[in-house]
Structure 1
Amino acid sequence: MSQVVDALVGLWAGSVSYGTTVEKFTIALDTDGSAHLNTAETGGHGTWQMTGEDTFVFTITERLHEGDSGVSGDTEVTGIDHLIINIDAKLFGTAFVGTGTAEVFDAAGAVIFSIAAETTAQLAPAQ
């Protein structure tokens, strides 16, 4: 494994901003390219991969609670089933910053809306 890949593998704690909402999360990036997200309310799974010397992407499918709602612009949207988060990130030592989108889906798999997301995270200390 390269030093950059080694630097990314582990548990990261951070926050994501979308619209007027800020949420805390942890994400575990594993050596096999899998990614595991946890928030106070939900969780999700996906993949990550290097895209450059100090850049990487991750995609997470986050399952929500039946009937969850969200905000698209000034409109409250109900019937949200899951979202797919796509983030392009840049590593800065033991921190990363990223930008991307979260596409919000209903139970039938149709996109309800998409929203821009910005994230920052720090590598959690080894336990």
Structure 2
Amino acid sequence: MPVSTWTPVGRWTGTVTHDGEVDEYTVAFAPDGSLSVTTRKSTGTGSWTVTGDDLLEFSLREDFNLDVTQISPNGHRAAYIQIDITARHDGDALTGEGKAVVHGPDDVEIYATGARTEARRVS
């Protein structure tokens, strides 16, 4: 079976849609399989892997900035989100879906939701 030569390495900007909200982000995919993400209210790190000719899976933990009081839809204070996405690339575009699990300051899961993302390569 041929191995995919496609790689997401570089910087991408995009949006993630969840619970009727749309948040913008920038993500940098590094050659070693790691990634870093920034949003207006959080930063995070994680890992990625190409799983097929046009498929990518990535997982990350996104911590809310200390100056942000993030309240989950069920009324609890959120500290971070664990996000797992499967995405398909088409040229310099990524579209994907996955799950976002919100955790409180005590690491307890307080909320989970679906997430959809769209991104474009910028470098």
1:3 deviates by 2.8
User: In structure 2, what is the Cα distance between the partners aligned to 1:2 and 1:96?
Assistant: 16
Structure 2: tracts of 5 or more residues without a match: none
Q: Which has the higher helix share?
A: 1
Q: For residues 103 and 20 of structure 1, what CA distance do their matches in structure 2 show?
A: 16
Query: Does residue 115 of the first structure (1) align with residue 113 of the second (2)?
Result: yes
Mapping of 1:41-80 within 5 angstroms?
A: 41-65=41-65, 67-71=69-73, 75=74, 77-80=75-78
1:88 matched residue in structure 2? 86
What do the CA deviations read for 1:49-74 (whole angstroms, capped 9, x no partner)?
A: 01111101111100014552121xxx
Unaligned runs of 5+ in 1: none
Does the CA contact (< 8 Å) of 2:72 and 2:111 recur in 1?
Answer: no
Letter in 2 for 1:82: Y
How far 1:2 moved relative to its partner? 5.5
SS at match of 2:6: helix
Does 2:102 match 1:97?
no
CA distance in 2, matches of 1:99, 1:79: 25
When normalised by structure 1's length, the TM-score is 0.87
In the alignment, the residues of structure 2 paired with residue 86 and residue 12 of structure 1 have an alpha-carbon distance, to the nearest angstrom, of: 17
Counterpart position of 1:34: 34
- Report % sequence identity: 29
Distance 2:6 2:117 in 1: 19
- Displaced runs of 4+ in structure 1, greater than 6 A? none
More strand by share: 1
Structure 1 letter corresponding to 2:6:
V
Task: Give runs of aligned pairs for residues 6-25 of structure 1, distance below 5 A.
Answer: 8-25=8-25
* SS of structure 1 residue aligned to 2:76: strand
Shift of 1:79: 1.8
Deviation of 1:107 (Å): 1.6
Cα RMSD, aligned residues only: 1.5
TM-score (norm 2): 0.90
